């Protein structure tokens, strides 16, 4: 399972992140504290506190693939 800490600062970044997540086969989860949402759901993403560091997690990607796909958002 691959995971990485990210930050989404603008609505445009949220849309871009969501578009990338939708193209990944399998699950992609986004965590903020104790809350976890499907990263393929833009409404789910907007329900999180975007002022905090988020953690993206995917069991179907290697760590290298996850870092490559989400590189613009990595902290």
Q: Where are the domains of the chain?
A: 2-73
What does the pLDDT look like over 55-69, one tens digit per residue?
Answer: 999 999 999 999 999
**CATH of the structural domain 2-73, one choice from 3.20.20.100, 2.30.30.110, 3.30.1340.10, 3.40.50.9100:** 3.30.1340.10
Alpha-carbon torsion 5, 58, 27, 34, what sign?
negative
Give the chain's largest Cα–Cα span.
28
Is pTM beyond 0.85? Reply is: yes
What does the pLDDT look like over 39-50, one tens digit per residue?
Answer: 999 999 999 999
- The torsion angles phi and psi of 64, rounded to 5 degrees, stand at -65, -45
């Amino acid at each position: 399972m691959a995971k990485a800490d990210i930050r989404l600062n603008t609505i445009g970044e949220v849309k871009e992140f969501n578009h990338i997540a939708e193209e990944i086969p399998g699950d992609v989860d986004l965590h903020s504290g104790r809350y976890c949402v499907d990263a393929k759901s833009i409404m789910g993403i907007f329900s999180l506190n975007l002022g905090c560091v988020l953690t993206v997690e995917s069991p179907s990607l290697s760590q290298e693939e996850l870092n490559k796909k989400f590189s613009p958002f990595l902290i």
